[in-house]
Structure 1
Amino acid sequence: MSGSSPATRFITSLTWDMLPGEVIERAVMCLTDTLAAMLAGRATRAARVAADLAHDWWPGGTATSIVGGDRLATGGAAFANAVAANAVDIDDCGIYTWGHPGAQVVPTALALAEERRLSGRELILAIVVGYEIAFRAGRCLNHEQSTIHSAERTYRACGSWGSVACAAIACHALGLNEATTRHALGIAEYDSPDLPMMRAIDTPGMVKHGVGFGALTGLLSADLARRGFTGIVPGLDFDEFRPFVDDLGRDYYLPRGITWKRFSSCAWTHPALLAIEELRSRHPLDPGAIDRIVVETYPDAARLGTRIPLTTEEAQFNLAWPVAAMLVDGRVGPEQVADSRLGSPEIAALCRRIDVVVSEEMTHRYYLSEVNDPEGSDSSSVTITLTDGTVLSSGRLDHVLYPEPGWTWDEMRDKFAWLATGHVEPASIPRLLDALANVASADDSSVLIRDLASSLIPVPIEQGAVS
């Protein structure tokens, strides 16, 4: 298998001069956001288990585990940090992927940056390659799912297309040629995990989106190809998908294709949470005075259900728990979905008063949003009946994911400081944020991760986690 293609040309030939300023800024913000998510997730049981395994299987390398601060081989660090990045579901979502690119792209790029002492510009280039290929690979892999409007669809979650994106990052960072890169992409796609996503919605577990295996499979695939291992023709090279890849290097999806999360729960819950925020801004809501809550939404959000969660993963893949937590605490962050919080009698009591109704109109708008129709949106409305008979309604709230209203640097800095608190020494947060904002000028970007690792605070381990 040989020859050039739009995907392999982009991966192997992308240079700094080809990046528009808005792409560079977005990539740096993605780096900042994902590092914050990694820090927030490092105390979870899932992150601890993954880091413990990585420590045993891949000890003594050049890359840093954000969970424990120890040094691991490149694949081990990427695997462990990816699991941490998605562990509390506050990492970014990407257009066409139905999932989370940053949780795989950034840990992979950072591990390679430490291994190869990449400059700040080289790190950003690797991140851009990862995101742009993730958007296209996800679009190719799941292109048929948006036409299946029933409970039977079970699209493949993040680690599937993420394997291809992470292989692309490694090929770019290693300087592999087009022919070798094509094999790496084919190996990654062939060996990518299956990840039937909707089964994880119905029975949540630590498997979640398979991001750790996406990062690891991508790195293994590039290294195999570098050593002469061959792969299949990657889907990115199929004629039917040429419209998805022909614009690589000319039209960057990154500036309009990322949604950053303010809530630590599945994105399908966010329209309802925004509706609660709207109600709270207009009415003082005493959780004890609430008799009934009705959430109107679309089928995928309704499928999350209203069960009382027993684990953090069940809390994140749940509609009632985040809604109740928002009413009780006024926010849904890592604390609200932590295993230690799941015994809250106040939140659990509100969960039992929540009914979920599928709206035909919201369903129609949701399916339009999946094909990026301008009339589409992720929508919800929340109606609250108080014990005195008062009825409060948010009305329909339409949440458009792509493009979303742009975040400012101040908002991203605030999110990083919020999620980093308790995980790094307080005095180091401004220094880390300055280093992130100026990462493009760094001669050796791995200094950033070493500085972060030296600032880590040992955190309490969630119940049941390994030590």
Structure 2
Amino acid sequence: MSIVTPNIVPASVLLAEPRPAWLSQWGQFASEIQFKDLDKALIEQAKLVLLDCVGAIASGMQEPETQALLARLVRRESGQGFAAIGAGRRLGSPEAAFVNGVAGTMLELDEGNQFARGHPGIHVLPAALVARAPAEIGGRAFLLAFILGYEIGARVGAASRLRNTLHPHGTWGTIGAAFAAAHLDGAGAEALVETINVSSSLSLGTSLRTMLEGATVRNSYAGFSARNGLAAWDLVASGFTGEIDGVRSVYDGVLAEGFKPEEMVAELGRRWEIQRNYFKRHAACRFTHGALDVVARLIAEHGALGQAAIARIEVETYVWAAQLDAPAPANMLAAKFSLPFAIATTLVHGEASVPAFRAPALSDARIGDLAGRVVVSEDPALTAMLPDLRPARVAIHFADGRVLSGETFTNRGDARDPYSPDEVRAKFADLAGPVWGEAHAERIRRAIETLDEAADLVALDALLAAPPLKDE
């Protein structure tokens, strides 16, 4: 018997396929590696990523939508469990993972990875923090699991091309979250492989249009990844099974295409994706950052540019940044994904800060008028530089004929032009200080930076569970 319909493979052929070698290699690698095998630079980078994620979660937890979501979740809980970071509340593990993931993406300030084309840390951390009781997890075990979860998720992102209509949040981050949870629970090589296969089937099919329209359901995707990651490990630990090659099925057909299995093991254990990450200071989509870096540099060199005297602003950049050309966003989320608005509000406020995208900025006639004078276009030569570079050219034309211009090929904060550790710490202080006060934020920073010396996570958990200042 044979099948003549194109692209349909008989089950007898599918079921004869062996497990791919990279999966077995990953299971063996992750089950055997120990904390002592990690070099100091890698460990310190992981701590910076943890610090950055905690700051983003705590600050995002103060947003009205996050507070309303938290209130609904708290009504269903007894108050025991894990910290909703920056809320002074405790929830069961699935709910805590979910709300922390949601909060971490609210302000568009969480770290990311340009090679994975997404944000690994904020998908993995919320699941890792609730995988075991704090008293049961040593600091070194936690750091190792977080690094491995980040690594597997980011590599799936780098090894495949998500469909152009798909938002990366909620996709391969689910695999990273599940893997970290499984590793913290002592999963062996076979269970780790099964976790990869099961969690791949629990990846979300997320719409890219949500970010363009300002549909804030988009901010839930990382929370669902964390929660689904926990569920994936619970399923595997309970005896449920996945496909023989779930990653290829989902990331070379369902959600993505062009999956390259060789990328999953290239320099495995020598090249770490967490060391190729980026940190964000502009509170907007990463695709806007090249142009915003140029604008920030022009402001630093020339002072306030007098937006009323600007005739037009021309931006040439790569395709994904050029797509963000809507000049009149409807809400804060849409504003963060509008290159004209981001440039205009930066010129008015002097920086792309959190307040620069809030409601008062959205209703500011000066910003709206200036955003309407921004013209964005794609330069195919700049698109061709992806993913290694994230280029942009900006030319500000004044009514008197003057032109100020600049270009960049990297984004501040990425692996080629990184922020210093002190700059990342300063960002954390800016985000966490208003939530808990400077002294408490400093205690959290010290706890994270000495996490490899901690026998358990009890002290860190208590610090993260502290109520915000407004609740004291």
Task: State the TM-score, normalizing by the size of structure 2.
Answer: 0.86
Look up the match of 2:216. Answer: 206
> In structure 1, how many angstroms separate the alpha carbons of the residues matched to 2:38 and 2:75?
39
Look up the match of 1:293. Answer: 313
- 1:333 aligns to 2:353 (yes or no): yes
Kindly indicate whether the alpha-carbon contact (under 8 Å) linking 1:164 and 1:218 is maintained by their aligned counterparts in 2: yes
Look up the match of 1:192. Answer: 203
Look up the match of 1:447. Answer: 459
> In structure 2, how many angstroms separate the alpha carbons of the residues matched to 1:358 and 1:265?
19
Structure 2 unaligned residues grouped into runs of 5+:
1-17, 253-258
Look up the match of 2:70. Answer: 51
Kindly indicate whether the alpha-carbon contact (under 8 Å) linking 2:132 and 2:185 is maintained by their aligned counterparts in 1: no
Out of 158, 172, 185, which is 2:169 matched to? 158
Out of 402, 409, 416, which is 1:390 matched to? 402
Distance 1:55 1:97, change over 3 A: farther
**Residues 262-297 of structure 1: CA deviation (Å, up to 9, x unaligned):** 111111100100110121122231223222212222
- 1:217 aligns to 2:228 (yes or no): yes
Distance 1:138 1:364, change over 3 A: closer
Local SS of the residue matching 1:60: coil
> In structure 2, how many angstroms separate the alpha carbons of the residues matched to 1:451 and 1:256?
27
> In structure 1, how many angstroms separate the alpha carbons of the residues matched to 2:103 and 2:380?
37
Look up the match of 1:280. Answer: 299
Kindly indicate whether the alpha-carbon contact (under 8 Å) linking 1:202 and 1:303 is maintained by their aligned counterparts in 2: no
> In structure 2, how many angstroms separate the alpha carbons of the residues matched to 1:113 and 1:97?
27
Between structure 1 and structure 2, the one with the greater Rg is 2
Look up the match of 1:417. Answer: 429
**Residues 137-181 of structure 1: CA deviation (Å, up to 9, x unaligned):** 2134xx245xxxxxx832451211011111101110111223233
Look up the match of 1:37. Answer: 56
Kindly indicate whether the alpha-carbon contact (under 8 Å) linking 2:126 and 2:226 is maintained by their aligned counterparts in 1: yes
- 1:25 aligns to 2:44 (yes or no): yes
**Residues 4-59 of structure 1: CA deviation (Å, up to 9, x unaligned):** 71222233333111211111011000001111111221122442344234334555
Distance 1:125 1:398, change over 3 A: same
- 1:70 aligns to 2:89 (yes or no): yes
Kindly indicate whether the alpha-carbon contact (under 8 Å) linking 2:81 and 2:91 is maintained by their aligned counterparts in 1: yes
**Residues 88-140 of structure 1: CA deviation (Å, up to 9, x unaligned):** 11111114321111111122222235455312112211210111111122134
Local SS of the residue matching 1:385: strand
Q: Residues 129-278 of structure 1 correspond to what in structure 2 (within 5 A)?
A: 129-140=148-159, 143-144=160-161, 153-197=164-208, 199-208=209-218, 210-235=221-246, 241-247=260-266, 249-254=268-273, 256-278=275-297
Task: State the TM-score, normalizing by the size of structure 1.
Answer: 0.87
Distance 1:130 1:354, change over 3 A: same
Displacement of 1:252 in angstroms is 3.2
Kindly indicate whether the alpha-carbon contact (under 8 Å) linking 1:432 and 1:448 is maintained by their aligned counterparts in 2: yes
Local SS of the residue matching 1:422: helix
Letter in 2 for 1:437: E
Local SS of the residue matching 1:322: helix
Kindly indicate whether the alpha-carbon contact (under 8 Å) linking 1:236 and 1:245 is maintained by their aligned counterparts in 2: no
| Identical aligned residues as a percent | 28
Displacement of 1:72 in angstroms is 0.8
- 1:350 aligns to 2:359 (yes or no): no
Out of 14-23 and 240-249, give the one that drifted further. Answer: 240-249
Letter in 2 for 1:130: G
The total of aligned residue pairs comes to 441
Out of 426, 429, 453, which is 2:438 matched to? 426
> In structure 1, how many angstroms separate the alpha carbons of the residues matched to 2:342 and 2:136?
41
Kindly indicate whether the alpha-carbon contact (under 8 Å) linking 1:63 and 1:111 is maintained by their aligned counterparts in 2: yes
Letter in 2 for 1:202: L
